């Protein structure tokens, strides 16, 4: 199955971001991708955290959700839109949510980001809990591909990457492919991004697709980029450093089975 990880440099204007995403999704479809993954905050990186509140949508309808559904239907793609702000139960907060659409334009899975990022090195500071309500449920979806293999896909977002127990749970459920749409900061991404992604692939013997924000945004924020596709042995299949683009690779179910057969580490787990 050919998978596309889409890298963006989103702005504070939703319409501009959807236009950028549309062009990149069209590139992914033209390249033969069956699944295209958009990055975290693909629809908005605003001047302030609270800007997310102004564009929140109730789950099930809204211009961003209609955009994703229409694009999936028109392009015949599985599209994972990671992420958009959905209305939460706590006032003054939203969920940071991944929505997955099948080629018929139907929303088939939702994952609300569980782990909320906080970082302060004295020069830059972030605290997602100021405007986000955390989710509490891991989410998997089944994706039948043209090669006849039905892929079991585990959903996650950005800061989740630092919590291996989430991914080990997915591995125990037999997940073949882990998705990590992200907006890693330049500082933390430079230090930890690739090594964490490759570790999640290796320890769980699964493919990993990480679609990222990558560049300098109008609000001055720098994101690390380096969208990656990684095989279960930890090999990087494709990547892009910075700026918008489409990162594609073929994910081979036979390669997955080979890695798991020659090193059955998941069967040797004791604790």
User: Which listed residue (2, 34, 40, 128) is catalytic?
Assistant: 40
Tokens 């004295």: give the residue.
122
Q: What is the pLDDT of residue 147?
A: 85
The two structure tokens encoding residue 3: 């998978």
Query: Comparing C-alpha atoms, which of 13, 88, 3 is closest to residue 38?
Result: 3
User: Which listed residue (43, 52, 128, 158) is catalytic?
Assistant: 158
User: Would you say 216 and 9 are in contact if contact means Cβ atoms under 8 Å apart?
Assistant: yes
3-state helix, strand, coil in the chain (%, to 5): 30, 30, 35
Q: What is the pLDDT of residue 127?
A: 94
The two structure tokens encoding residue 20: 């950028």
Q: What is the pLDDT of residue 11?
A: 97
User: Which listed residue (43, 113, 128, 248) is catalytic?
Assistant: 113
Clarify whether 52 is annotated catalytic.
Answer: no
| Beta pairing class for 94-101 and 139-144 | unpaired
**Which mean pLDDT values do the consecutive 10-residue runs of the chain (271 residues) have?**
98 98 98 98 95 97 98 98 96 97 98 96 92 98 94 98 98 97 97 98 98 96 97 98 97 96 94 86
Clarify whether 2 is annotated catalytic.
Answer: no
Query: Comparing C-alpha atoms, which of 84, 239, 240 is closest to residue 157?
Result: 84
Clarify whether 40 is annotated catalytic.
Answer: yes
Question: Maximum CA pair distance of the chain?
Answer: 51
């Amino acid at each position: 199955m050919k998978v596309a990880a889409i890298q963006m440099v989103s702005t504070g204007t939703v319409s501009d971001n959807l236009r950028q995403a549309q062009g990149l999704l069209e590139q992914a479809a033209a390249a033969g991708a069956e699944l295209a993954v958009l990055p975290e905050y693909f629809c908005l990186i605003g001047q302030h955290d609270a800007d997310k509140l102004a564009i929140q949508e109730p789950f099930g309808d809204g211009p961003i959700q209609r955009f994703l559904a229409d694009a999936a239907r028109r392009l015949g793609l599985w599209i994972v839109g990671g992420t958009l702000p959905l209305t939460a139960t706590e006032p003054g907060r939203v969920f940071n949510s991944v929505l997955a659409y099948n080629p018929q334009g139907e929303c088939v899975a939702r994952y609300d980001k569980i782990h909320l990022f906080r970082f302060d090195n004295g020069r830059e500071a972030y605290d997602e809990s100021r405007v986000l309500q955390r989710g509490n449920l891991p989410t998997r979806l089944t994706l039948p591909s043209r090669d006849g293999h039905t892929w079991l896909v585990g959903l996650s977002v950005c800061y989740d990457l630092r919590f291996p127990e989430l991914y080990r749970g997915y591995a125990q459920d037999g997940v073949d492919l882990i998705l990590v749409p992200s907006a890693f900061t330049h500082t933390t991404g430079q230090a930890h991004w690739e090594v964490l992604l490759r570790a999640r692939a290796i320890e769980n013997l699964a493919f990993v697709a990480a679609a990222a924000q990558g560049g300098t945004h109008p609000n001055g924020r720098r994101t690390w980029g380096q969208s990656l596709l990684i095989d279960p042995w930890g090999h990087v299949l494709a990547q892009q450093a910075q700026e918008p683009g489409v990162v594609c690779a073929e994910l081979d179910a036979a390669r997955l089975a080979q890695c798991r057969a020659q090193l059955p580490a998941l069967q040797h787990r004791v604790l």
